[in-house]
Amino acid sequence: MRPTFLMTDPGHFRVAYEINPWMRPGDWSADPAAHDAAARSGWQSLKRALEGAGAEVTVMPGEAGLPDLVFPANAAVVLDGRALVAHFRYPERAGETPHFHRALERLTGIAMVTDIEGVYQEGAGDCIWDANRRLFWVASGPRSSPDSVKVISDFFGQETVHMPLATKAYYHLDTCFCPLSGGEILYYPPALSEVALAALQAHTSADQRIEATDADARAFCVNAVSLGRKLIMARPGAELHDRLSARGYDVIGIDLDPYLLSGGGAFCMTLRLDLVSQPAPAARCLEAAA
């Protein structure tokens, strides 16, 4: 099965409020037309990069008044054809839930779409499937509740590793932590709590840990989509680019500046729909041979 992603048409995206420290509504409103044009072209480049890497992209419509609908990583946690739909912390985003629920039901092949209850949980932004280790890295912090960890492990029946976040700026796990297809983890250490760093240590070898610098993290390069040897991210500096290339990754940098102004990058503009906990035997052989 081809890798499949959900993206949201960016026509209604803008920076209209502040629910994370990166958001600059004033900067946006200083020149909305230029930001809007840049947002549309950055989104197209990201979609093309995913398709160029062999993925299929399903596009759901945007909605006036819900600018952050453009970040479907926050819509749900998806695995094995089941989606657990997010419960957003801030009222500014709460209105997105029914749109994501409907889109997951109607536009994707996902058979079972369930709303999470009783806890805050912001989708794959705070719950990242690690296909190599076959587990979920699950964050609590400014957005998702610690109790979401158990709800996720009960719902999916998979191992979860709790990753409490340490800062306001790196408010979702996907802003500071990214499992790569080869088993490495690209991460920004200051954003992770002691508990999270210890968990990372326990599940990885030293050569699998790739530390991002302050500049890499601020440029939202850790918020990357890893697809085979392709690694798609907001434009990286030369040093990060070279470090990842040296490990065999084909790094594709995209100008996503308007989204950075909202506190988002490549990963959160997508939601992977086809992840499975137990790849078919043929896929496993290919994995082993790679």
- Site of interaction with ligand ARG (CB under 6 A): 19-20, 23, 68, 71, 73-74, 93, 125, 172, 174-175, 262-264, 268
Active site residue 172: yes
Q: For the beta carbon of residue 131, count every other beta carbon within 10 angstroms.
A: 16
Which residue among 35, 101, 172, 241 is the active-site one?
A: 172
The amino acid at residue 107 is: L
Give kind and range of the element (H or E) at residue 34: helix 32-52
Active site residue 99: no
Q: For the beta carbon of residue 11, count every other beta carbon within 10 angstroms.
A: 14
Which residue among 127, 176, 221, 268 is the active-site one?
A: 268
Q: For the beta carbon of residue 117, count every other beta carbon within 10 angstroms.
A: 9
Shortest distance in whole angstroms from residue 96 CB to ligand ARG: 9
Shortest distance in whole angstroms from residue 220 CB to ligand ARG: 8
Shortest distance in whole angstroms from residue 23 CB to ligand ARG: 6
Q: For the beta carbon of residue 21, count every other beta carbon within 10 angstroms.
A: 13
**Residue closer to ligand ARG, measured from CB, 47 or 172:** 172
Pick the closest to residue 66 from 87, 91, 39, 96 (CA basis): 96
**Residue closer to ligand ARG, measured from CB, 123 or 236:** 123
The amino acid at residue 184 is: E
Relative to beta strand 112-115, strand 127-130 is: unpaired
Pick the closest to residue 125 from 164, 63, 75, 181 (CA basis): 75
Which phi and psi (to 5°) does residue 175 adopt? -85, -15
Shortest distance in whole angstroms from residue 130 CB to ligand ARG: 16
Q: Tokens for 156, please give them.
A: 């999916």
Pick the closest to residue 167 from 18, 17, 20 (CA basis): 20
**Residue closer to ligand ARG, measured from CB, 253 or 264:** 264
Shortest distance in whole angstroms from residue 122 CB to ligand ARG: 7
Report how far residue 110's alpha carbon sits from residue 107's, in angstroms, rounded to the nearest whole number. Answer: 9
Shortest distance in whole angstroms from residue 290 CB to ligand ARG: 28
**Residue closer to ligand ARG, measured from CB, 21 or 248:** 21
**Residue closer to ligand ARG, measured from CB, 119 or 229:** 119
Q: In the complex, which residue's CB is closest to ligand ARG? A: 125
Report how far residue 197's alpha carbon sits from residue 64's, in angstroms, rounded to the nearest whole number. Answer: 40
Q: Which residue has the tokens 């896929």?
A: 283
Q: What residues act catalytically?
A: 172, 268
